[in-house]
Amino acid sequence: MDDTSDRRGGVRWHGTTIIGVSKNGKTVIAGDGQVTMGNTVMKPNARKVRRIGEGGPEKGKVIAGFAGATADAFTLFERLEKKLEQYSGQLLRAAVELAKDWRTDKYLRNLEALMIVADKDTMLVLTGNGDVLEPEGGIAAIGSGGNYALSAARALDAYEDDAETIARRAMEVAAEVCVFTNDRVTVETI
């Protein structure tokens, strides 16, 4: 498999950067807006970070960001919303149940995306392998520029007290280094 095709042989929508930072009672998820196909920018201002359950009983108490195929991520957002409703807004429980379904369901197993989800108490990284990971030190990043953003955020963490400032600066660094990440950033805060 080369860099521009997925395991099914189709063209892969490549690259993004999503970062989550939790510090001093504030949690932020930020993501860039660039959507690429191969080496072509298809859209510079996609919204990859959003509130989950805005219309439901939880009224936007969970924020999420995705890296990967857009349609796949929206499917996962919808499934997570349903799990949150089913488990009375308990993010960890809903995430574990979504990860179980994602890993075992024949349809969901083919979805190609990663997610960072958070509420006021918890931040998690969800993968199609069934992983539900709580990040070390309250910082997580995914996508093609994820390692750049993660490194920048960890370096800033000792010197900066504001989660949003850390996330925005880390996104700036990722956009400067990763060709699949741009500087049109969406930020959601809990």
Q: Supply 175's token pair.
A: 């956009």
Burial classification of residue 13, based on how many CB atoms lie within 10 Å of its CB (0-12 exposed, 13-18 middle, 19 or more buried)? buried
Name which of 111, 20, 10, 126 is nearest 69 in CA terms. Answer: 111
Q: Is 16 marked active-site?
A: yes
The span from the CA of 35 to the CA of 44, in Å, is: 6
Task: Identify the residue whose tokens are 């690259």.
Answer: 15
Annotated catalytic residue within 16, 17, 27, 181: 16
Q: What is the DSSP string of 136-174?
A: GGGEEEEETTHHHHHHHHHHHHTT---HHHHHHHHHHHH
Active-site positions?
A: 16
